[in-house]
Amino acid sequence: MPFLPVWLPGRLSVAQVLLAALVLSSAGAGPKEPASTIGCPESCYCSTSPGGGAGVGAVGGDLAVRCSNQFLSAVPRNLPNATRRLYLDYNQLVSVPADAFLGLPLLAELDLSHNQLTLLEPGSLSALGPSLRSLDLSSNRLTTLDPEALGGLAAKANLTNNPWLCDCALQEAMPKLDLDPASLVDVVCAAAVPEEVDAKGKSFVLLAEEMDLCAGLKRTTDVAMFITMFGWFAMVISYLVYYVRANQEDARRHLAYLKSLPKGHGDESSTVSTMV
């Protein structure tokens, strides 16, 4: 391909670029442009609204990728790296893999609502870091908020309509989250641990103000620790008792043996008996 270097410094016409691409791909040589920088994923609709509310550094407009209502069971792979808004609502996603949203440094709005999400893998959303402003996780099947998945996200989140399990794990997770605090009011308990807590329909934040959901667990651990220690103690004591008994038995047998010996060794046996 000797003509390529001649072309590159000059102005490229569309036809030249296409031709070059054709030559490169047919030659199987040149580095393939990653799919993420061009095109739109299958079953998505991409649109650019010039300068549409994207804020500082909105070069090249505001790229929105809409993949709503497409029966998707996985997050599309080849999302354009300039995506600012991504709509994945009304699909059949059950989990968000750790690498689902890598390479999207501009993503500011993410809609994952109305799916069947039960799991957000560690790192999956926290990878979006501070660029994310709005996160919709409403109407899914989430039961807990994992700081490993959501830590470092300062987004405003919609967390309504999920079957949240209000337990010690959730209580411990809350202070580790950086989400907009107003979002957390929408974490409404569907169930609680310990079960006797009447939590159904209550906001977790309010519940946690009233009671310590980890208190029961601490008590259980204390009891378990006590039982374990008592068990060890009992074992040591019974071993000691057994040891002493067995030795007494031995000594007695030894004594009896000495006594059965012919007389003349009497003083020896009395020494042993004083020893025992």
Ligand X SMILES: *[C@@H]1O[C@H](CO)[C@@H](O)[C@H](O)[C@H]1NC(C)=O
Q: How far is the CB of 134 from ligand X (least distance, A)?
A: 9
Contacts of 99 (CB under 8 A, 6+ apart): 124
User: Which residue is associated with the tokens 């974490």?
Assistant: 187
Among residues 143, 160, 194, 259, which is the contact residue for ligand X, using CB under 6 A? 160
Q: Name every residue whose Cβ is closer than 8 Å to that of residue 115 and which is 6 or more positions away in sequence.
A: 88, 89, 90, 91, 92, 93, 94, 139, 140
The residue from 91, 126, 140, 158 that contacts ligand X (CB under 6 A) is 158
Closer CB to ligand X, residue 124 or residue 158?
158
Burial 183-204, CB ≥16 within 10 A → b, else e? bbebbbbeebbeeebebeebbb
Site for ligand X contains 83 (CB under 6 A): no
Which range of residues in 69-77, 117-125, 154-162, 204-212 is near ligand X by CB under 6 A? 154-162
Q: Which residue of this chain has its Cβ atom nearest to ligand X in the complex? A: 138
**CA–CA dist 30, 190 (Å, integer):** 55
Binding mask 25-44 for ligand X (x = CB under 6 A): ------------x-------
Block residue for tokens 């308990």: 189
Supply the minimum distance, in Å, between the C-beta of residue 186 and ligand X.
Answer: 7
Question: Nearest 5°: phi and psi at 102?
Answer: -75, 150
Q: Does 183 bind ligand X (CB under 6 A)?
A: no
Binding site for ligand X (CB under 6 A): 37, 81-82, 105-106, 113, 138-139, 158, 160-161
